[in-house]
Chains A and B, each alone.
Chain A
Amino acid sequence: MADIVLDNVVKRYPDGTLGADHVNIEIADGEFIILVGPSGCGKSTTLNMIAGLEDISDGELRIAGERVNEKAPKDRDIAMVFQSYALYPHMTVRENMAFPLKLAKMDKAEIDKKVNDAAQILDLTQHLDRKPANMSGGQRQRVAMGRAIVRSPKAFLMDEPLSNLDAKLRVQMRTMVSKLQQRLETTTVYVTHDQTEAMTLGDRIVVMRGGVVQQIGSPQKLYDRPNNLFVAGFIGSPAMNFLPATLEDGVFRTSLGDLTLSDELRRNLEASDAPRELIVGIRPEHFEDAALVEEHQRPKGSVFTAEVDVLESMGSDKFAYFTVQGEQAMSDDLADLAADAGTADVPGGDAGTLTTRLSAASTATEGRSTEVWVDTSKIQVFDPNSGKNLTTREAAPVTA
């Protein structure tokens, strides 16, 4: 077990691509840290540099306080779980799991004991003498985990380990990974594409984009206080709604109507010399059916009326989708997000769709106009040019 520090780490590929650009991450001993970001943002590159499978062009990587830039993967004492599992097809499950121990020249009895223990934990005992070719995806995945945990390494690295599993199995395995990590208390760096995995597994999340770290923080922190438009749009499902807004006469003029600002927000915006044209971000759960908002709450927000396009009742609550008239929020960050999501438009689905989450008791009906209340105290405000979050006065540092 050990802490891992990436100190201004740069990866420049021979063709000039910057795989990682001055990445600074401090991973505490025993911490479970998640790397997320759109495809090609440098997650695997970062992970492979920690592993030693990829050279570090610049900067320093320290494991347990010791510089390891020049160390071969085998000398770093780190285990890795690959997306493709990378099991040795000519070895049985037992041999696969024993392989790292054999290389470490452990004696036979001890190897047997460790392999059996790991197999017990992963429920693989009855499969120990099978070859990987004859196993299901979930079983192979567990073997890959087993091979990583048998030798109690300083850290685990996992590159989208669950992405080849079907949805149901992925949920089971996610729980297993979480329990395993809590039990072993081994420092873990985990790469994923999956929102739920990112939010539920990690102690902290690192959001990356184009090789650059955007923000590091606990899942809740990233959700509540995103540094910029990119993080705001990336974290959360369904995604945050973004609207262009003009700050005028102390209110935001938006296509939803005028939204009031809290005094604190107004002060912050004035102090930070914010431009008049802004982008406001509102999470779906900060909307409510106006009829259900208690009287004393109402002044905290604004009310608008719109026609419900689509209504999805989830039982516990209802998702109501509205079409927003007028122009859409534009920014580089949002364009990037849309490209990753596969939609050419703003995240949150189709062009100009506003996603809201209302209480189950709401009487909103498809095709009918409904009064919707917005909790304006929860609004996030962004600079459309830099993408920076202007909601709080201090420009939040990248690291929390």
Chain B
Amino acid sequence: MATATATEPRRARSASSSGTADNKKLWWSIANLIVLLYALIPVLWILSLSFKTADTVTDGNFIPRAWTLENYAQVFAIDLFTSALINSIGIAIISTVLAVVIGTMAAYAIARLDFPGKKVLVGISLLIAMFPQISLVSPLFNIERAVGLFDTWPGLILPYITFALPLSIYTLSAFFREIPWELEKAAQMDGATPLQAFRSVIVPLAAPGVFTTAILVFIFCWNDFLFAVSLTSTTRSQTATVAISQFTGASQFAEPTGSIAAAAVLLTIPIIIFVLFFQRRIVAGLTSGAVKG
């Protein structure tokens, strides 16, 4: 009898506690849904625009009444766009690789070594990130014309690296600080040369940070419009964002809405591929479990 009464309230309590857990889940789901909708509706809207025919493009329907691939065909019919896409991909990848490689070395030094002027270095790199880019456009324009970098790939890659470096140094040094560096010693005790220790222990642990940084830097370069529009002038180095801005309609007065939407959709595809490709390597909490716990 006594035990029966004792278990009753306990059961009731556990039922109510699982009830609150369900409630919590529900609220989280709703909150997530709102955020998702907020972020995705503009994207879906552009997707929808890109499939609409020229006469229905302004009808305000979310789901196109008449589907067409005309817009996409048009985008590729423009020579400018294809070459711009190649420029975009090339410039973004080269900038990303360089910014991440240099950033990795700088972040390693910041995370691991004690050298005079470390704080100043970090401060300056932060300063660069805060600097309004627009104020650099005309000086850069003049300089690049003078030294012959205007309208070339390096002419864009250089400023991209400058502005991507603070970002990459920051994210990378935050990641590097989390790596249990004692593992390097452990590997050496296990018979590894410093290089082997770095390759088989430190690199796998640093990789998620490097990939995350690479994604951020790539997106930054890929989406840039300001530098691209000011420091390029021909198909030699014009990037896709600039190309889109120069689309013209079928006639001088027609708005090229459909083809801009199609080009925008096309532009997001490389980013999605890039993120999906690297995300598989970013396993959160990879470094946990190395130490006591």
Contact = CB atoms under 8 A, between A and B. Distances in A.
Given A89-B205, A131-B289, A103 B196 contact: yes
B191 to A, nearest CB: 4
Interface string A43-80: 00000000111000000000000000000111001111
A132 interface: yes
A385 B193 CA distance: 50
B180 A84 contact: yes
A133 interface: yes
A88 B291 contact: no
B191 A88 contact: no
B188 A89 contact: no
A137 interface: yes
Contact of A132 (B193, B196, B289): B289
A316 interface: no
Interface string B180-223: 10110111111111001000110011000000000000000000
B190 to A, nearest CB: 4
A230 interface: no
A104 interface: yes
B188 A72 contact: yes
Interface string A143-157: 000010001000000
Interface stretch (B93-101, B264-272, B280-288): B280-288
Contacts of A131: 289
A85 B291 contact: yes
Given A89-B205, A99-B190, A100-B190, A140 B293 contact: yes
A79 B189 contact: yes
A82 B183 CA distance: 10
B293 A147 contact: no
Given A82-B182, A140-B292, A140-B293, A88 B201 contact: yes
Given A82-B182, A86-B183, A103-B196, A53 B188 contact: yes
A135 interface: yes
Nearest to B288: A133
B290 interface: yes
Contacts of B185: 53, 73, 80, 82, 86
- Interface centre among B180, B190, B285, by most chain A C-beta atoms within 10 angstroms, is B190
Bin the interface of chain A by size: 20 to 34
Contact of B290 (A74, A86, A134, A151): A86
A86 B188 contact: no
A72 B189 CA distance: 9
A87 B290 contact: yes
Given A82-B182, A137-B293, A89 B190 contact: no
Interface residues of B, number: 26
Nearest to A48: B185
A77 B191 CA distance: 7
A132 B285 CA distance: 12
Contacts of B186: 80, 82, 86-88
Given A90-B204, A133-B285, A85 B292 contact: yes
Contacts of B287: 89
A365 interface: no
Contact of A135 (B189, B191, B285, B289): B289
Contacts of A133: 285, 288-289, 293
A104 B291 CA distance: 25
A100 B191 contact: yes
A147 B288 contact: no
Given A53-B185, A90-B205, A90-B286, A84 B191 contact: no
Contacts of B188: 52-53, 72-74
Residue among B183, B186, B187, B288 facing the most chain A CB atoms (10 A cut-off): B186
Interface string B158-199: 000000000000000000000010110111111111001000
A89 B290 contact: yes
Contacts of A82: 182, 185-186
Nearest to B283: A90
A90 B185 CA distance: 16
A82 B188 CA distance: 13
Nearest to A131: B289
A74 B193 contact: yes
A78 B191 CA distance: 9
Contacts of A164: 292
Contacts of A79: 189-190
B155 to A, nearest CB: 40
A134 B289 CA distance: 7
A70 to B, nearest CB: 15
A72 B193 CA distance: 8
Interface in A79-131: 79-80, 82, 84-90, 99-100, 103-104, 131
6 contacts: A77-B191, A80-B185, A80-B186, A84-B180, A86-B182, A104-B191
Given A51-B189, A99-B187, A103-B196, 14 more contacts: A53-B188, A77-B191, A78-B189, A82-B186, A84-B180, A84-B182, A86-B180, A86-B291, A87-B186, A87-B290, A88-B183, A100-B191, A104-B191, A133-B293
Interface of A: 51-53, 72-74, 77-80, 82, 84-90, 99-100, 103-104, 131-135, 137, 140, 147, 151, 164
Shortest beta-carbon contacts, A-B, top 3: A133-B289, A86-B186, A100-B190
